Every structure is written in C-alpha cells, then in structure tokens.
Structure 1
C-alpha cells in the first residue's frame, strides 16, 4: 500500500521542499514523461540495501576486478537522468512508461547543481553505458533510478556507490520500492516507520562523515586498481 498526494502546480520543484520530502520519507513521481502533475509518494513498505549486505556474484566481482568500465561520479548527471527516464523494457514496469517527467528531471538537475543529488556513471570506449542517480543528505543516499546499456553496467555503478558510501561514512541506502533486480542485489523490505527511524538515526549531528563525491574520490586516489579493491571489500562483507 502507498499513500499518494497529487500536486497540480507546474515548474521546478523547490529544492528545499524536495529535501524536506526526502527527510520525511516522501518522494515525487509522475504518471508519464510529459505529465506536469507531481504525485508525492509515501510507501507503506520501503526497500533498502544494507551497506554490508550487497550481493556480489562471482561474475560481477570478476567484472569489477577486471575494470571493464571506467566509473565516474557526477561527470554526466543530466545524461544519466535522461537515460533513466527513457522508455525501456522492464519486467517491473509493464508499459515501460517513465515516472521521471520533464519537470522532475529539471528539479533534480537543480538539486544536483546545489550539491544534493549525485550520479555514478559507467563508461566503455568513451560511451556512457550505465549509471544511477539519487539524492544525498546527512548519512543517507536515496537511490532514484538506474539504467544499463551493457550487461552489468548498472550493477557496477551500484557497487561503486556502496563502496563510496562506506568510504564517506554514510549509513543508509534507500531504494524506495522493491524490484526483482534490487532483490537480487541484496535489497530487503522494511516498514515505513522503521525506515523513518533509520533516517532519524542517520541524521544525527556530527562530523564523522564526508560528502559522497569525496568518498568516491578516496576510492580512485587511494589505489591504482580501485575495482579490485572494491570487489575484495564487497565480497568480504556480502
């Protein structure tokens, strides 16, 4: 069950309103790419991926170690959002219609410019082949969407996200709704009330964490083979 509130206002969603919504366990969706209306969604059940519980298969670990993809952070935020919004076959979405409307995409681009939304990109031969984006606040990252044009690209982006979150001292990875893909990667369901308690705990005061992009930078600056290090760290805890 999901509680939905609909807003008929047009224009970019105010960034502070967006952040307040996320802190309250609410996020926006639309019925279609061209839909100007916003639905504010409050799920009764959330999906999260525990940072020590990501499922990394042997083949995925091998892909990480071999560094098939060049992984970046915030190098192509708008392109990632557009790729996530493009219609595509999805077993969890029968009609393939995107919930990321033009209005929502523009709102997240503004949030990104203000430093509150981030993307991870996978590149192969100079081409963007996969990635994900989401919203970060305190020690929380709320994953919004991911896409993949090459096998394992979105999974590699997720692995890098988890590794960067751990390096940055973040604690909670929200996936919003459970899907078969996320379940295969280790996502677990929990009631909204329990999720909000985790958000509260992750929003405590203190300086024992750094911004997510800095967590990513520590991965690439501290190793000549970050993919190998990430594969090792994630398979030890998964």
Structure 2
C-alpha cells in the first residue's frame, strides 16, 4: 500500500503544556481518515502542523516520501478547509473556484473547463454568477470545497467543515464530499468531534485524546474498542427504541 502521509514521533508544546505527544500516523493514498476528538484534544493543532501553520517541536512529517520540514504552507500542496467557507466576498462563485488556478497562471480555456466541470460536480452550475452573500451556508461550503479541490492538492485537511450547518444540510454535504472523494481520488484527514460523522466520512478512523493518537487498522477494530463510544451509542438508541 502506498502512503501519502507519514508522521513519526511528533510532539508539540505550548509553553509548559504538552499539546501533542508521540503522534504516529499514516494515511494511504485515495483514503479519508477521520480523526475523532473532543475540543482541546489537539486535533486542530495537528492539522495546522501538517499544513505548515504551526511548527512541531519534534518529529518527522513526510508527504509522498518528502520531508515537510522548513517548507512554507504554500509549498506543501496541501489545502486546509475550516468550518467557515471563507469565500472572497468580491468574487462570484465561478471566480472563487477559479482563484487558485489563476494564481498558478493556468490557461484561461483550461480554467473555464475545470471550473465549469467542478460546478457541475457540486450541483452549483446555475449559481455560478452569484456573489457569496447571495448563497446559503451549504452553497458557500460547496464553493469552498470546489476552490480547494479544483487545484488538485496532494492532501486535503478538513477541520469540522460541516459544524456550522443545520442537520439536513450537513447530511447533504457529507454525501457530496464522499461522492467527490471517490470520483476525484481524494486523500484527506477529516477532523470531527461527532462519532457518527467520523464513521460515515472516514475509510479509516483515528481517535485523538489528550494529545495522543490511536489509529485503528480497520473500522471493525474501532467498533470493538470498548472505549471508542460506539457501544455506548448503540445502547442509547436501543434504550430509545424500547421506550
């Protein structure tokens, strides 16, 4: 199996507080790994280190076998998606998606083809000329995804990207992302505090707690772990059904 990302013995401290301790992680190509953890567990810090927005105190990060040490964020070919869409307010939906391609000075005909293709994937073609303030929260998040994926990053980092959406829109975005991940052969880390979302979104699952990471070999292994929370969730719904 080919790994796109390998992290070895990573540590991060803020002052005297240890945020991440002895992190070891491997991600296969074309795979989505869900990272499950509560607030303050260190999961966002880990994503920021991978993206180059924070620096590790110790450890090794390899992307496609190349060391990321001392590489600036813009040199890593990694895209970090936040909970907020963060679209450019002065650009319409089409131009928001096209932004990264224009920075790379891609030929205008190729940009037109790629962006229109992406808009079709996102079911947003009819909204191409709309400005961000004319779009719903879910639509803005779709455009944010399009902008990230159209440049074909080696790795996508998603930090609770659906956390601000209502339950129905969140479900639709989960389905959309899984479909795009399959079609576009995406490699991604998907951070969430929601157990169900972690199971739905990830091909594999890792759990980060108090700065330490446990990566499960299979989902079945995760389900069998008495500390994963899965059995507790099952028991809860059984109790609801019995009442």
TM-score by length of 2: 0.28
TM-score by length of 1: 0.29
Structure index of larger Rg:
2
